[in-house]
Amino acid sequence: MKAVATVVPRPTRTLREVVFVDGVRTPFGKAGPKGLYAETRADDLIVRVIRELLRRHPELPPERIDEVAIAATTQIGDQGLTIGRTAALLAGLPTSVPGFAIDRMCAGAMTAVTTVGSGIAFGAYDVAIAGGVEHMGRHPMGEGVDPNPRFLSEKLVDTSALVMGQTAENLHDRFPEITKQRADAFAAASQAKYAAALAAGHIDADLVSMATRSTEHGYGLATADEPPRPGTTVQDLAALKTPFRPHGRITAGNAAGLNDGATGCLLAAEEVAEQLGLPRAMRLVGYGFVGVEPEVMGVGPVPSTEKALRTTGLSIEDIGLFELNEAFAVQVLAVLDHFGLADDDPRVNPWGGAIAVGHPLASSGVRLMTQLARHFAARPDVRYGLTAMCIGFGMGGSVIWENPAYDGSIR
């Protein structure tokens, strides 16, 4: 008599809702020998962020954290060595908490969020930390890289694709209606909006102070962003040099600077957040990453946003708040033009953006998310928000979030 094999039913899975619990960042500094963090280690920046997340949420047992995903664009030196794991250990998390490093250039922290967020939705994690760090003073963009000569010899990309400022000049070429005057006006507005938000006390909630060290000045404490230039006018910007092209349009004033800083956030399954008493600042709706021509990488958020909207069944009209990374003013303006939004639409970067506050590459995605979470808390009339950014070497990333405090208003 033949034995009958027992058929074990395949486990069924139901995707879980993922929530953004809270986010925090160090003040951003200027990269270079005179910057805030010139003699501060990159890993110490992200360790400070992780510790602050734990301090702000004593209701979260550290052993409940299932993963630590930390991004860095240049993964060498003090922001190498699988920084997600080493930062977790340095921050005092239990040795049972794993970690990993991630790189998608400017969208590193954004990708850390979507990666562990997907794991939470799938059921692999309950709670995770995601973030990014970039010390562009210690590790300039491109340090130690060795691009394959085939990129140029086989004309796979234009030479300008390797220099982000040149890609922004290319974007001006492609969209001549985006003039330098428009870019300068947008940049001046970013500075003004940041200054107003700072004066109103909106920025401080995002920040954790960071100890600094200087051979010349001794120890200090970073409590505020270093890059902003309050009072910047369009006339000031018009006089700046165009380093990427003679008589060009990209200047230090209408582009984000070279910066140091770290960001981090807590993500959790919604029911787990409720069980632990963790706040729910935003609910993850969907996301999209795409590739575009590397020579015009700044246009990346257009198709990535279209993809995110398509996969979630939403339209651009459903989005009530936008946090767009300001790598270059022309890049944001190209996105706004495509979607029919005005240069001064109040829904876009209400507290200014990277042109004012800085862009420490892999860390910036979580800054966008943290600010959107703050906006949601103050705007129960807004249901959906978008965080989006262009990505070096020709990509775009967009993440759509839902406001748990939405009160059922029209938007």
What amino acid positions are annotated as catalytic residues? 106, 359, 390
What CA–CA distance (Å, rounded) separates 25 from 262?
A: 6
Q: Which helix (H) or strand (E) holds 373?
A: helix 364-378
Tokens of 330: 């022309």
Query: CB within 8 A of 130, min separation 6: which ones?
Result: 68, 69, 70, 109, 112, 113, 115, 116, 117, 264, 265, 267, 366
Cα–Cα dist 381/377, whole Å: 10
Distances (CA, A) of 207 to 56, 191, 224, 295: 12, 18, 8, 35
Give the per-residue SS3 of 82-151.
Answer: CHHHHHHHHCCCCCCCCEEEECECECHHHHHHHHHHHHHHHCCCCEEEEEEEEECCCCCCCCCCCCCCHH
Contact 403, 282 (CB under 8 A): yes
207 DSSP 8-state letter: B
Structure tokens at 240: 């700046």
Dihedrals phi, psi of 100, to nearest 5 degrees: -150, 165
CA 108-36-81 angle, to 5 degrees, is 40
Residue 328: DSSP 8-state = B
Question: How many CB atoms are closer than 10 A to CB 219?
Answer: 9
Mapped onto helix, strand or coil, the DSSP state of residue 32 is coil
C-beta atoms surrounding 204 within 10 Å: 12
Kind plus residue range of the DSSP H or E element containing 385: strand 384-391
Helix axis angle, 42-56 to 83-90, nearest 10°: 60
Do residues 132 and 364 make contact, with C-beta atoms less than 8 angstroms apart? yes
